[in-house]
Amino acid sequence: MRDQHYTGRQRHYMEEALFEADQAALIGEVPIGAVIVHDNQIVGRGHNLREHGNDATMHAEIRAIEEACGTLKSWRLEECQLYVTIEPCLMCSGAIINSRIPEVFYGARDPKAGAVDSLYETLTDSRLNHTVTVHEGLLAKDAGERMVRFFKAARVRQKARKKAKRAAAQAQTEKTLDNQKKA
C-alpha cells in the first residue's frame, strides 16, 4: 500500500524517528532512527549504534523492537506501528516479520540495502506467513537529507585525514633528507 496522505499524528511519530536519527548523527553514526507506537504511545525507540556498539545488528529498528518487546512484555508486536526514517534492510525486515508488526512507515528508500521496495519486497511477500502494510515516503526528504549531509561530512573528514597523512609523510621525508645531508 502506498499512501501519500499522512495524518498529523503519523508525521509526529516520524519526526520522533528523525529525532532518533539526529542522536545517531551527533555521535558519528549513520543517521537512521525508528520508533514503535502502540495505542498512540511510543513504546520503543532506537537509533543506529553499529560503530559504538561494535555490533552489526545494532540497527535503529532492531533496537526499537527490543525496547518495545520489553515495554509490552511480549515478542509479538501485533498492534504496533513501526516508523523508520530509511527503508529497512534484510535483517530488519526479518525482525519486523518475526515480531509480527502489521504496519510500517518509512521515509526514504535505500537503493543499496533496502529490502522493502528497492532490492527485495520482503514485507509484502505473500509466501511468508506474515505480511506488512507498508507506507513509503513519510518525511522522506528530511530523512534523505540527513543521510546526504552525513556522508558528505564523512567524505570531508576522510579527505582531511588523507591530507594530514600526506603532510606527515612529506615532513618525514624532508627530515630524513636533512639528516642525510648532515651525515
Q: What residues line the site for Zn ion (CB under 5 A)?
A: 59, 89, 91-92
The answer to whether 51 is a known catalytic residue is no
Candidates 15, 20, 51, 61; catalytic one: 61
Q: How far is the CB of 91 from Zn ion (least distance, A)?
A: 5
Closest CA to 34 of 94, 86, 111, 97: 86
Nearer to Zn ion, 42 or 65 (CB): 65
If the CB atoms of residues 30 and 80 are measured against Zn ion, the closer one turns out to be 30
DSSP 151-166: HHHHHHHHHHHHHHHH
**3-state percent helix, strand, coil for the chain, nearest multiple of 5:** 50, 15, 35
Which residue, 12 or 103, has its beta carbon nearer to Zn ion?
Answer: 103
Instruction: Return binding residues.
Output: 59, 89, 92
**DSSP at 29:** S
Sheet holding 41-47, edge to edge: 41-47, 33-38, 80-86, 103-108, 133-136
Least distance CB 180 / Zn ion (angstroms): 54
SS3 of residue 45 by DSSP: strand
Closest CA to 82 of 101, 57, 107: 101
Closest residue to Zn ion, based on beta-carbon distance: 92
Which residues are catalytic, by number? 61
